Structure formats: C-alpha cells, structure tokens
Amino acid sequence: MIMKNDKTNSNGKSEMKESELTDFFIDGLKDIYWAEKHLAKALKKMEKAATSDKLKEAFSSHQIETEEQISRIEEVFNLMDRTARGKKCAAMAGLIEEAEELIEETEKGSMVRDVALIAAAQKIEHYEIATYGTLATLASVLGSEKIKNILGEILEEEKAADIKLTELATSNVNEAAMQD
Ligand code: FE
Ligand code: FE
Ligand code: ZN
Ligand code: FE
C-alpha cells in the first residue's frame, strides 16, 4: 500500500507511482465514507420511527457506533495520506430511500412498522458487510495490516449489528403475527 513513508525516497521526493488497485481502494473508501455519513443521519430517523424500545435502542447504539466508524475511516484516509472525502454511494442512497418509503407505508406505533424497519436495516448491514469485507481484503493485498485491521474491526461491528437485528426480528415478527 502507498503509505505516507513509502511515498518518499531518501531524497524526500515522491517517487512511487500509485497503482490502479490503490485508486480502486480509495474510491471504495470514499463510497463507504459517504454511505456511513448518510446512514448516521438515517439511523436517527429510524430510531424515531421505531415502535418498540428494544429496536429504538438498537438503532441508537448502532448510530453511535456509526459515528465512531466514520472517525476510523478518516483515520484510514490519514494513513493513506489522503484527505477524507466522500463520493455518493448510489447503493446506500437507494437503501436509505427504501427505508424512508417503508416508514411512510406503515402505521406509526405498529409492530409491522418495526418488522419493515428491521428488514430495511438488515439490507443496509448486508451492504456494509460486503463492502468492508472487500475493502479489508484489498488493504491486505495492498500490504497494510494496520488498515486491514481497522476495516476488519468495523466489519465485525456490522456483523454484530446484523445478528442483533435478526434476534429482534424473530421476536417482533412473532408479536406482529399475533396482533393480526
Ligand atoms: Fe457502518
Ligand atoms: Fe457503495
Ligand atoms: Zn456506491
Ligand atoms: Fe452498520
């Protein structure tokens, strides 16, 4: 990986040409940076929209975790000697839009609202899991264990968030079915 120190030779001049793979990695980083920033806002709306306290709590804690993930992505940009900058993630924009639609289409205070929110949130987590999995592998291929570890940590948080949602879904879907 093209790190700060790799860039300068003994004369202190930048010499190493950046590979296309590094560019591809940076693009992916910009994409997930944009995605996480927008998700941080969306999770606040999802928390407000949720019916059960358990789901509100799950969104709230993942929102805080998301803010920390944003800081760690900034750290990765820094390690790459790049300015942290986002690039619109069409996938996350669509997933958030879908979540907003589901909020409009379901009744406030209903269990079905929660079932819909959990479904939307799990699609988001799965997108994040795929993205961080790829980025962590790329970081490893590019030779940065440190960056690989940071992205690997975030990946584990996304997996844990997904598992938590699955647990909530199991109990919520059952309750929603009983209400009908
Ligand atoms: Fe995230
Ligand atoms: Fe993306
Ligand atoms: Zn994208
Ligand atoms: Fe997440």
Q: Is 117 part of a structural domain of the chain? A: yes
User: Which ligand lies nearest to the CA atom of residue 163 in the structure?
Assistant: 4
pLDDT of residue 131: 98
Q: How far is the CA of 124 from the centre of ligand 1 (A)?
A: 9
Burial (Cβ within 10 Å: 0-12, 13-18, ≥19) of residue 173 = middle
Q: Torsion angle of alpha carbons 95, 134, 153, 23, nearest 10°?
A: -100
Say what the pTM is.
Answer: 0.86
Q: What is the CA radius of gyration of the chain?
A: 19
Q: Any idea what the CATH number is for the domain that residue 63 is in?
A: 1.20.1260.10
CA distance 97 to 84: 25
Q: How far is the CA of 87 from the centre of ligand 3 (A)?
A: 8
Q: Is 5 part of a structural domain of the chain? A: no
pLDDT of residue 14: 40
The H or E element that residue 110 is part of is: none
| Range 49-61 average pLDDT | 97
Q: Is 51 part of a structural domain of the chain? A: yes
pLDDT of residue 175: 72
At 180, the pLDDT band (50, 70, 90 cuts) reads low
At 5, the pLDDT band (50, 70, 90 cuts) reads very low
The owner of tokens 């606040």 is 44
| Range 96-114 average pLDDT | 97
Q: How far is the CA of 57 from the centre of ligand 3 (A)?
A: 28
pLDDT > 90? residue 15:
no
Q: How far is the CA of 154 from the centre of ligand 1 (A)?
A: 7
Q: Is 83 part of a structural domain of the chain? A: yes
Q: How far is the CA of 91 from the centre of ligand 1 (A)?
A: 14
Q: How far is the CA of 158 from the centre of ligand 1 (A)?
A: 6
Q: How far is the CA of 89 from the centre of ligand 4 (A)?
A: 15
User: Which ligand lies nearest to the CA atom of residue 130 in the structure?
Assistant: 2
User: Which ligand lies nearest to the CA atom of residue 68 in the structure?
Assistant: 1
Q: Which domain holds residue 125?
A: 18-179
Domain count, the chain: 1
Q: Torsion angle of alpha carbons 159, 24, 142, 29, nearest 10°?
A: -40
pLDDT > 60? residue 17:
no
pLDDT > 50? residue 16:
no
